[in-house]
Amino acid sequence: MLEVTVRGDQGVLGLQYSGSVPAGTPGPASNKLITGPGGCFAVIGAGAPQLAIFPPDATFVLQNGKPSVTVDGAEHPVGRELTFDTAVVPVQQVAGLPERCTRGAADTVLVVL
């Protein structure tokens, strides 16, 4: 199971994993970052938005200004393309997702490696 920690309690929610990532299929290298289902960071490509789960060292801007996530020193605001190595993991293998985030989301999540 992939353990998820939620960052923020109002506005946009950031999701981070801790520990190892379960084996998943390689995900797309580039997708648009959005504020998705339930106000959680997600990516949109073809089909329903996939919740985006970021590494433990990611930081978030959740309330002031435009929501963004910073990974490896680079800030990625909502509305821009994310380009990372990713893995697609079934929602059933993820623990700790807020219920509000899963409504309307794809049945897989995109884990930023």
Spans of the chain below 70 pLDDT: none
Q: What pLDDT was estimated at residue 64?
A: 72
Q: What pLDDT was estimated at residue 46?
A: 77
Q: Domain ranges in the chain?
A: 2-112
Which CA distances in Å does 96 have to 33, 53, 109?
Answer: 21, 11, 13
Q: What pLDDT was estimated at residue 104?
A: 92
Q: What pLDDT was estimated at residue 88?
A: 93
Q: What pLDDT was estimated at residue 27?
A: 86
Q: What pLDDT was estimated at residue 10?
A: 78
Q: What pLDDT was estimated at residue 7?
A: 95
Q: What pLDDT was estimated at residue 9?
A: 83
Q: Note the pTM of the prediction, 2 decimals.
A: 0.92
Name the percent of the chain in helix, strand, coil, to the closest 5.
Answer: 10, 50, 40
Q: What pLDDT was estimated at residue 19?
A: 84
